[in-house]
Amino acid sequence: MKFTKLFATVFASLVAANSVAFAAADDMATMKARLDEMEKRLSDVETQNILQNVIWSGVLINRYEHFTNNNMTSTDTLDGYSTAVAINGDFTINEKTKVYTTIAMSKFWNLEGRNESWPNWKKSEEGSYQMNGSAPYFDRAYLAYKFDIPLTFSIGRMPTNNGMPINQLDGIARQGTYPRFAYNAIFDGAALSYDFKLPEGHTLSASFFYTPWVNVDPYDRTHQWQDTNNGNYKTGTTPQYTFLADYAYTGSSLFKKFSAEYMWYNYQNFYWWGDNPSSPKTANNNQTITGGPNRYDGTANMLYLGLDDIAMTGISGSVSTQLYGSHYVDGNPPKDTWASSYLFSLSKAFGANGRTIIGAEYINTDKYYYLDESAALELIPFYSQPNSKGYHIFATQRLTNNIGLRMGYYRLITKSDTDAAISAADYNSYYAHLRVDF
């Protein structure tokens, strides 16, 4: 009897203990589920907050170009079908700081693995515009910080390509910082920009850019590049200094907008690294340099003037001028050259909201003219060829606010010049260019 009571007591105690344990386990499971749910909700909130601080946009371009290059000894005829896409992500870090990014690619249809850009500084300036294939590039990746005064500091890979008047061809807003006739290339560096607070209708900004080329050996980051022509190592960097003044006026009844840009840049001891390297590297693991001269100084003054919607007729026009000088350090003897060149643009918008645009461009370049036309999808070297004259006629139809079809024709004649090592050529190109902004 005593044993039965003892057994009953022990059994009841075990049952009570297990019940408590099961209850505790159930409470723990419930608590964990609630914590998981709270964590998920917090993650969702954080994700929503992040997404609210990001602006996504992009552009998709499909292009056909029939290009003929007649250099008086042979003729190349190309039918170039290509696609280019760019995705922009603009991130707001806080009220003073933003990060801007663009990831992009361009390619000919059903063709991968091209490698048209050499030397390596040219690859950097072209980015996704190398038409190498479907592998993406970062064409833009920079931070912008606004001070309490109207001063902005930017650093990284900046939007120095696709400047005015490129946007006028498609009837879209301004895309890039540098005027196209000064540079159409992507640069890495740092910049300070001051926004002068002018009366209503006037805007004026002044920017200073520091964009150094880093002369590090392409196979070993512990070495500088070596110039085998004179046996000396190159300087560690080739700095370029740029000043840009940008003015606009929108307060007149005679036109919608007047724009003026002045740009000056200067660099010294820039290494071209030869035209056709005979070997990717020498025995001491440094790049072989061939051709010449390899080293030169450069400076340029560029002015852009533009009027939009003159007398409310839909007519817009612009003129770009460039004065470019080079000092060939490795020339024998050293050589100085100067070049003055011009680009004129005229267009007229028709219809509701100016959705139909017809226009023309005319270019005249000196024999010593130089332009880094690195961010281009055209096959024809219309904007970069020295000692040339040519014209471009085009018609653009905005199918919707975000879709535009442009069709046009280029003609460019290059004259030969022995002193500048230029061969005669006759270029022709007609194209269709479908752009979708999203």
Q: Which stretches of the chain score pLDDT less than 50?
A: 1-8, 10-12, 14-25, 274-293
Domain boundary among 33, 52, 71: 52
- Same domain for 36 and 173? no
Q: With contact defined as beta carbons under 8 Å apart, do 170 and 396 qualify?
A: yes
- Residue 224 DSSP one-character state: B
In total, the chain counts a number of residues equal to 438
Residues 41, 124, single domain; the answer is no
* Cα within 13 Å of Cα(144), Cβ side: 19
- 35 is in which domain, residue-wise? 1-52
Tell me the torsion sign for CA atoms 91, 102, 394, 262: positive
Q: How far apart are the first and last CA of the chain?
A: 88
Regarding whether 108 and 14 lie in a shared domain, the answer is no
What pLDDT sits at residue 218? 75
Give the pLDDT of residue 39: 65
My answer on whether 4 and 77 are in the same domain is: no
10 Å CB burial of residue 371 (0-12, 13-18, 19+) is: buried
393 and 301 in a single domain? The answer is: yes
At 253-283, the pLDDT tens digits run 999 999 999 999 999 988 876 433 333 444 3
Pairing outcome for strands 151-158 and 187-196: antiparallel
Residue 61 and residue 8 share a domain = no
- The region that residue 15 occupies, defined by phi over 0 for left and psi between -120 and 50 for alpha, beta otherwise, is alpha
CA–CA distance, 305 with 342 (Å, rounded to integer): 12
Angle, alpha carbons 374-376-377 (nearest 5°): 140
Q: Where are the beta strands (DSSP E) in 197-239?
A: 202-210, 213-214, 226-227, 232-233, 237-238
Q: Are 273 and 117 in contact (CB under 8 A)?
A: no
CA 70 to chain centre: 30
Q: What is the CATH number of the domain that holds 347?
A: 2.40.160.10
- Number of alpha carbons in the 13 Å side-chain half-sphere of residue 258: 10
Position 46 scores a pLDDT of 60
349 and 319 both lie in a single domain = yes
> Do 149 and 278 have their domain in common?
yes
Q: What are phi and psi of 123, to 5 degrees?
A: -60, -45
124 and 148 part of one domain: yes
Of the residues 10, 29, 52, the one at which a domain ends: 52
Same domain, 336 and 388: yes
Tokens 């200094």 belong to residue:
241
User: Do 139 and 259 reside in the same domain of the chain?
Assistant: yes
Counted domains in the chain: 2
- Helix, strand, coil abundance in the chain, percent, nearest 5: 15, 50, 35
Distances (CA, A) of 389 to 157, 373, 424: 33, 17, 12
Say yes or no: 33 and 112 in one domain. no
